[in-house]
Amino acid sequence: MFTRDFVYLGVSALQVVLAALMTPILTRRVGVGQFGQLTLAIVVAQLLGVTFNLGLPFAAQKVFAGKDGD
């Protein structure tokens, strides 16, 4: 049950949960002039995460058995 898949799922879920918790807190703490910069930073961070991820968690899970059975 506790395999690599579980770790990848946990880390991915943690990222989403932390973003969901921190975004409302941060948006209420910044001023009107900084709100646009904060939203731009959040969008850029989300896009870079998807871009640099390159599907690695899904590709790393695919392990195929060799001819010798390993």
What residues of the chain score a pLDDT lower than 70?
A: 1-2, 55-66, 68-70
Q: What percent of the chain has pLDDT over 90?
A: 13
pTM of the predicted protein model: 0.56
Check if the beta carbon of residue 38 is closer than 8 Å to that of residue 27: yes
Candidates 70, 67, 69, 53; CA nearest to 15 is 53
Phi/psi of residue 14, each to 5°? -60, -40
Q: Which amino acid is at 5?
A: D
What the block records as the tokens of 66 is: 């060799």
pLDDT, residue 34, reads 92
Q: Which amino acid is at 11?
A: V
